[in-house]
Amino acid sequence: MAANMTVASGSPAFVNLTASKDAFTVGRIRAAGGILFGKTNMPPMANGGMQRGVYGRAESPYNKDYLAAAFASGSSNGAGVSTGASLAVFGMGEETVSSGRSPASNNGLVAYTPSRGVLSIRGNWPLFPTADVVVPYARTVNDMLRILDVLVAEDKDTTCDFWRGQPFVSLPAVTDVRPQGSYLGLANSTALKGKRLGVPKMYINGHDPAAQPVWVNPTVMKLWKESRRTLESLGATVEEVDFPIVTEFESKPASVAWKTDYPLPGSAGSSAVSSPENLAPYSWDDYLGMVNDPAMPNLTAVDPLLISPQWPKTLPDRYGNSLNNRSEYNKWNVDIAKHRNGTSLYDLEGLNETLHAVEAARKMYLEDWMDQNGLDLIVFPSAGDVGPQDAETNETAALLAWRNGVYFSNGNYAIRQFGIPTVSVTMGAMSDTNMPMSLTFASKAYDDNMLLSCGSAFESLHMKRFAPPRTPELK
């Protein structure tokens, strides 16, 4: 949020909700001399990707026939397009599933999704608080490092910042994570030398019997092979691996509400790592209290049918391989808020156990697994393909946009659910669509600085970012 500007979050319900102060990151940018000149488009409540919000959506500056982000999770599409099209030097997104990484990939950007607590999220609308992170966008890694010098700082106020405020799991201090000097010191063209990289077979047309099938466009494979050569020429060893942090928590879809021969997302896994169901509505209620707009003091004052409406002549969403009417979903959220009775978000039954289960799962299925396999980091194409622009209204296009490997960025729910940091850098243009596609670097929690250095090394040699042909380049 930004002082004296609306905090609509793409929703008709909040179109007049007005902030009285800046989010932490916005305040840091202003204090460093940055000029805030626009808020960007998103679907209502960031709950989706390319579904239109109250102000519409951003369109691709690369190819008008394709989406500017993954249809089901790319809500920071406005920030991605505006940065990719040189309307701004950098942009600020947010991610709960892949809403930061996906717009970055489709717009030729560098994206950084931090480990928990590294970037204060105070002042951002929550979606699913256990997963939400701030995601800066830039056109180069060096620009990203300059931005992080400003953004990464201690914030003693933990209001509506779930991970920094929760009392159950200890997080490292920001000063122990960020570099001792400038982030620019992380730029290192030799950072990949001697590193062992694992690429999940499931994302490069390989066979992983534990994985749900993933759609991979041959043009993405071509970009991956070129990127692999770059990685190896920089001194890295690349090994094809399984990816248990994803496969352990996905299973074959139990049922599908439409006919298709395309690969579909797996069903969600263990309930032990699922947040208490009241967490999201409680967090929205708390956020409205923090915004402190007297016209809308809490969630009970909101018309639930306006929060995320199903626009006329649009197709229903397909989360969970079911057909979902967006308008109806939020009746439940508002009803939960009405019966809250002052309960603290942190007093929800099972929350402590869930957070420890999530942390234990990441340690077992990612960090211990990486150690056992001698891996320094994981790399993979950010997605298997890009969806067509009319997926909201055209059934044939929707079938393509909701394929596994296309509807979200690769990694699906696991990357954010388990707090895995990533850095994404452009691999180049897909030859059939001229749409950009990124390479994602991922590793253990709080390996953020290594990821930034490795992204810098890859970019220094690969250099495949290109300006969008539909918009003029910033001079």
The C-alpha atoms of residue 67 and residue 80 are separated, in whole angstroms, by 12
In a domain, 471, yes or no: no
Residue 219 has pLDDT above 70, yes or no: yes
Q: Which amino acid is at 447?
A: D
Torsion of CA 112, 46, 429, 399, to 10 degrees: 140
In a domain, 469, yes or no: no
Burial of 6 (0-12, 13-18, 19+ CB in 10 A): middle
The C-alpha atoms of residue 345 and residue 277 are separated, in whole angstroms, by 11
The C-alpha atoms of residue 194 and residue 473 are separated, in whole angstroms, by 37
Tell me how many domains the chain contains. Answer: 1
Residue 302 has pLDDT above 70, yes or no: yes
Query: Can you say how many angstroms the Cα of residue 286 is from the centroid of all Cα atoms in its chain?
Result: 22
In a domain, 474, yes or no: no
CB 117 within 8 A of CB 155: no
Taking residues 50-57, report their average pLDDT: 97
**Matching residue, tokens 């400003």:** 150
Taking residues 83-101, report their average pLDDT: 97
Nearest C-alpha neighbor of 94 from the set 108, 114, 109, 110: 114
**Average pLDDT, whole number, for the chain?**
96
Residue 328 has pLDDT above 90, yes or no: no
Q: Band of the pLDDT at 270, cuts 50, 70, 90?
A: low
Taking residues 17-39, report their average pLDDT: 96
Residue 326 has pLDDT above 90, yes or no: no
CA distances from 217 to 342, 406, 432 (A): 50, 10, 10
In a domain, 468, yes or no: no
Q: Band of the pLDDT at 474, cuts 50, 70, 90?
A: low
Cα four-point dihedral sign 392, 396, 400, 404: positive
In a domain, 54, yes or no: yes
Q: Which residues pair with 94 in a beta bridge?
A: 134
Report the pLDDT value the prediction gives residue 325, as an integer from 0 to 100. 86
Taking residues 342-358, report their average pLDDT: 96
pLDDT in tens, 182-199: 999 999 999 999 999 999
The C-alpha atoms of residue 326 and residue 323 are separated, in whole angstroms, by 10
**Matching residue, tokens 């929060």:** 307
| Domain boundaries, position 329 | 12-462
Report the pLDDT value the prediction gives residue 470, as an integer from 0 to 100. 97
Report the pLDDT value the prediction gives residue 81, as an integer from 0 to 100. 98
pLDDT in tens, 160-173: 999 999 999 999 99
Which of the residue ranges 96-100, 230-234, 326-330, 344-348 would you say has the lowest mean pLDDT?
326-330
CB 7 within 8 A of CB 17: yes
**Matching residue, tokens 């249809």:** 71
Q: What is the percent of the chain with per-residue pLDDT over 90, rounded to a whole number?
A: 94
3-state SS string for the chain: CCCCCECCCCCHHHCCCECCCCCHHHHHHHHCCCCCCCCCCCCHHHCCCCCCECCECCCCCCCCCECCCCCCCCCCHHHHHHHHCCCCCEEEEEECCCCCHHHHHHCCCEEEECCCCCCCCCCCCCCCCCCCEEEEEECCHHHHHHHHHHHCCCCCCCCCCHHHHCCCCCCCCHHHHCCCCCHHHHCCCCCCCCCEEEEEHHHCCCCCCCCCCCCCCHHHHHHHHHHHHHHHHCCCEEEEECCHHHHCCEECCCCCCCCCCCCCCCEECCHHHCCCCCHHHHHHHHHHHHHCCCCCCCHHHCCHHHHCCCCCCCCCECHHHCCECHHHHHHHHHHHHHCCCCCCHHHCCCHHHHHHHHHHHHHHHHHHHHHHCCCCEEEEECCCCCCECCCCCCHHHHHHHCCCCCCCCCCCCHHHHCCCCEEEEEEEECCCCCCEEEEEEECCCCCHHHHHHHHHHHHHHHCCCCCCCCCCCCC
CATH code at position 428: 3.90.1300.10
Report the pLDDT value the prediction gives residue 475, as an integer from 0 to 100. 66
Report the pLDDT value the prediction gives residue 329, as an integer from 0 to 100. 83
CB 281 within 8 A of CB 307: no
pLDDT in tens, 116-163: 999 999 999 999 999 999 999 999 999 999 999 999 999 999 999 999
Taking residues 84-89, report their average pLDDT: 95
In a domain, 5, yes or no: no
CB 334 within 8 A of CB 280: no
In a domain, 115, yes or no: yes
In a domain, 351, yes or no: yes
